């Protein structure tokens, strides 16, 4: 059985102890719940891959309570320093060269000579990191390929019995994972859109390469949906950009004129607010993912601001399953 404990002084101490001794603990961040393990401990990191069923070539994000700890693990160049002072704590993960004397388990970077690192903007996550006094490797606390958890109960639904403890900090405010930015070379590149938008990044550092981010209706997406990695996937099929609901479908709506005719409708944001939509996305996908519906139909979401990350997750949820 996996315990869900409301975060307080006692449960935080308990969680920090579990982590220090190589056990896994799920904990809240501002983006999604993380499946945390001691990033300096090979067997703890190996256990993260095992519990998630995650392919060992997909590296993990190391979470730190401050820039000082980041500096012990990675080489922080001047662009990264600027980005840290602008966006940390917050949903921006930086990929940076690993320091030769870094104590991090080699498993966190899955064979690469870089490390993805971030400081979460969440008081419970920061308190836990400070109490544990080590970096915590944490992917989203879901089984590999499935919908990321934004509430403690989602984690329990995914990982019950596989980990000793879930720290409950309520609902995640952002609701989408961090933006992953590769800063290891001179050419900055976004590897995953997320809670920090293109507009926010470019206001600070000028143009960044979004080459990796799949555009809606790009030739790639149209001609070869199998190229898209299936991820964030509910059990039901997902149909995007719909203008009508088909018989038996559930509807994930957006905006003030939701389509009619769905067996079950959840509206990401009746006022068309992308921040609200991001915070609801994963929880609503879970709510609609019931065997009595034929598929989940999703209304169009504008490809601006947080909409870019929302659409990225939706396209992966809809991608052909392997």
Question: Contact between 32 and ligand TXA (CB under 6 A)?
Answer: yes
Residue number, 177 or 249, with CB nearest to ligand TXA: 177
Name which of ligand TXA, Mg ion, none residue 180 binds, using a CB cut-off of 5 to 8 Å depending on partner kind. Answer: ligand TXA
**CB burial class (10 A; 0-12, 13-18, 19+) of residue 321?**
exposed
Question: 3-state secondary structure string, the chain?
Answer: CCEEEECCHHHHHHHHHHHHCCCCEEECCCCCCEEEEECCCHHHHHHHHHHHCCCCCCCCEEECCCHHHHHHHECCCHHHHHHHHHHCCCCEEEEEEECCCCCCCHHHHCCCCEEEEECCCCHHHHHHHHHHCCCEECCECCCCCCCCCCCHHHHHHHHCCCCCEEEECCCCCCCCCCEEEECCCCCCEEEECCCCCHHHHHHHHCCCECCCCCCCCCHHHHHCHHHCCCCCCCCCEEECCCCCCCCCCEEEECCCCCCCCCCCEEECCCCCCHHHHHHHHHHHHHHHCCCCCCEEEECCCCCCCCHHHHHHHHHHHHCCCC
Residue number, 29 or 105, with CB nearest to ligand TXA: 29
* Cα–Cα dist 150/135, whole Å: 22
Name which of ligand TXA, Mg ion, none residue 83 binds, using a CB cut-off of 5 to 8 Å depending on partner kind. Answer: none
For Mg ion, which stretch binds (CB under 5 A), given 64-72, 140-148, 191-199, 307-315? 140-148
Name which of ligand TXA, Mg ion, none residue 178 binds, using a CB cut-off of 5 to 8 Å depending on partner kind. Answer: ligand TXA
Question: Contact between 115 and ligand TXA (CB under 6 A)?
Answer: yes
Angle at 312 between CA 149 and CA 82, to 5 degrees: 85
Question: Contact between 38 and Mg ion (CB under 5 A)?
Answer: no
Binding residues for Mg ion restricted to 50-69, rule: CB under 5 A: none
For Mg ion, which stretch binds (CB under 5 A), given 100-108, 137-145, 179-187, 190-198? 137-145
Q: What character string, x for contact with ligand TXA (CB under 6 A) and - otherwise, covers 68-87?
A: --------------------
- The single residue among 5, 67, 79, 112 that binds ligand TXA, judged by CB under 6 A, is 112
Binding residues for ligand TXA restricted to 45-64, rule: CB under 6 A: 58-61
Name which of ligand TXA, Mg ion, none residue 179 binds, using a CB cut-off of 5 to 8 Å depending on partner kind. Answer: none
Listed residue (44, 61, 186) closest to 112, CA to CA: 61
Residue number, 245 or 310, with CB nearest to ligand TXA: 310
- The single residue among 192, 198, 286, 313 that binds ligand TXA, judged by CB under 6 A, is 192
Binding residues for ligand TXA restricted to 203-262, rule: CB under 6 A: none
Listed residue (141, 202, 212) closest to 177, CA to CA: 141
Question: Contact between 31 and Mg ion (CB under 5 A)?
Answer: no
Residue number, 109 or 140, with CB nearest to Mg ion: 140
- The single residue among 29, 31, 93, 140 that binds Mg ion, judged by CB under 5 A, is 140
Listed residue (281, 234, 280, 27) closest to 131, CA to CA: 27
Binding residues for ligand TXA restricted to 133-152, rule: CB under 6 A: 138-140
Least distance between ligand TXA and beta carbon 114 (Å):
4
Residue number, 53 or 226, with CB nearest to Mg ion: 53
Instruction: Note the residues at the interface with ligand TXA (CB under 6 A).
Output: 29, 31-32, 34, 58-61, 91, 93, 95, 109, 112, 114-116, 120, 138-140, 177-178, 180, 191-192
Instruction: Note the residues at the interface with Mg ion (CB under 5 A).
Output: 140
């Amino acid at each position: 059985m996996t315990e869900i404990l409301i975060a307080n002084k006692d449960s935080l101490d308990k969680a920090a102890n579990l982590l220090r001794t190589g056990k896994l603990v799920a904990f809240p961040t501002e983006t999604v719940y993380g499946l945390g393990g001691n990033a300096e401990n090979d067997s703890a990191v190996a256990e993260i891959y095992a519990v998630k069923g995650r392919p060992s070539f997909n590296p993990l994000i190391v979470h730190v309570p401050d820039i000082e700890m980041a500096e012990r693990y990675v080489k922080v160049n001047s662009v990264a320093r600027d980005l840290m002072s602008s966006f940390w704590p917050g949903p921006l993960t930086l990929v940076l060269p690993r320091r030769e004397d870094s104590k991090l388990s080699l498993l966190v970077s899955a064979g690469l000579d870089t490390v993805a690192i971030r400081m979460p903007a969440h008081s419970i996550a920061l308190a836990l990191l400070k109490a544990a006094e080590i970096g915590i490797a944490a992917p989203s606390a879901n089984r590999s390929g499935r919908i990321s958890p934004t509430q403690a109960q989602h984690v329990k639904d995914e990982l019950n019995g596989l980990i000793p403890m879930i720290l409950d900090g309520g609902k995640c405010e952002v609701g989408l994972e961090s933006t992953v930015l590769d800063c290891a070379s001179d050419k900055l590149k976004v590897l995953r859109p997320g809670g920090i938008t293109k507009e926010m990044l470019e206001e600070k550092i000028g143009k960044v390469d979004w080459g990796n981010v799949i555009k809606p209706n790009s030739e790639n997406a149209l001609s070869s949906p199998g190229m898209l990695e299936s991820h964030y996937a509910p059990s039901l099929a997902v149909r995007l950009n719909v203008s009508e609901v088909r018989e038996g479908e559930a509807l994930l709506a957006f905006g003030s004129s939701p389509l009619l005719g769905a067996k079950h409708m959840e509206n990401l944001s009746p006022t068309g607010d992308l921040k609200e939509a991001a915070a609801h996305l994963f929880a609503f996908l879970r709510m609609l993912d019931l065997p009595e519906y034929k598929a989940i139909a999703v209304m169009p979401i504008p490809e601006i601001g947080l909409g870019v990350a929302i659409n990225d997750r939706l396209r992966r949820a809809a991608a052909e399953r392997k």
